[in-house]
Chains A and B, each alone.
Chain A
């Protein structure tokens, strides 16, 4: 994988249900993996920055895992609420340079 890819592009979740989605990134020369939440009419907000293989981070009902060997990260939302509706972006940072490469995002819509 040369680019950062996110799937699915969008998903609808019923309030109270849990969900997860994927970020795939180049595993070679890996340095860090970022997750951001981007709500409509607001600026992207950092959720997690992950660097270690096997790492798991949690913020409230949202958590993320990281597999640097195979180049993927999962983001989980437990007990989705309408306020979780947003586009979730992941971005990969490789060792060389100071550049973050973003995926296309997963748009999550939580239905009451």
Chain B
């Protein structure tokens, strides 16, 4: 149980275009989802916390107008990279806890999305 599906797994786009990444909880409801980014040889860095029915909470240094997050239902959160530039090329991965899981409950991750901006 507790499966998180993330699409696409890999995307290549041209500079200036926008890319949408979907994160779905397949067999559970997730009030909160988390979006991480990983640059080569670095750790997973939290970008934002996605809250169902309300605005996302962004980490310091993450541009909310560039990385649009929508969490319209208890099973779907989307991350849209707007006007992508080569420096946005990275690995993006989402995660969620079951229900309103407490912080001592584990995260369930998607498979991640490798974004390449040319």
**Residues in A lying within 8 Å of B, measured CB to CB:** 4, 31-32, 34, 36, 41-46, 49, 51, 89, 91, 93, 98-105
Complexed CA–CA distance, A44 and B106 (Å)? 11
User: 9 closest pairs, A vs B, by CB?
Assistant: A46-B106, A43-B109, A102-B44, A104-B43, A32-B104, A44-B109, A102-B43, A43-B111, A93-B103
| Docked-complex contact B106 and A49, CB < 8 angstroms | yes
Give every chain B residue within 8 A of A4 (Cβ-Cβ).
Answer: 43
Is B77 an interface position by the 8 A CB rule? no
Q: Which of A31, A46, A103 has the most CB of B within 10 A?
A: A46
Q: How far is the CB of A36 from chain B (nearest CB, A)?
A: 8
Given known A43-B4, A43-B111, A98-B32, contact A31–B104 (CB-CB < 8 A)? yes
In chain A, what residue has the closest Cβ to B108? A46
Q: How far is the CB of B90 from chain A (nearest CB, A)?
A: 15
In chain B, what residue has the closest Cβ to A103? B43
**Residues in B lying within 8 Å of A, measured CB to CB:** 4, 6, 32, 34, 36, 41-46, 49, 59, 93, 95, 103-112
Tell me the number of A-to-B contacts counted with CB atoms below 8 Å.
57
| Docked-complex contact B103 and A104, CB < 8 angstroms | no
Give every chain A residue within 8 A of B103 (Cβ-Cβ).
Answer: 31-32, 93, 98, 100
Task: Return 15 A-B CB contacts under 8 Å, by A number.
Answer: A32-B103, A43-B6, A43-B110, A43-B111, A44-B93, A44-B109, A46-B107, A49-B106, A89-B43, A98-B103, A99-B49, A102-B36, A102-B44, A102-B45, A104-B41
Complexed CA–CA distance, A45 and B110 (Å)? 10
Give every chain A residue within 8 A of B4 (Cβ-Cβ).
Answer: 43
Complexed CA–CA distance, A36 and B36 (Å)? 15
Complexed CA–CA distance, A98 and B105 (Å)? 11
Q: Which of A32, A34, A44, A100 contacts B46 (CB 8 A)?
A: A100
Give every chain A residue within 8 A of B107 (Cβ-Cβ).
Answer: 34, 36, 44, 46, 100
Give every chain B residue within 8 A of A104 (Cβ-Cβ).
Answer: 41-43
Give every chain B residue within 8 A of A31 (Cβ-Cβ).
Answer: 103-104
Give every chain A residue within 8 A of B110 (Cβ-Cβ).
Answer: 43
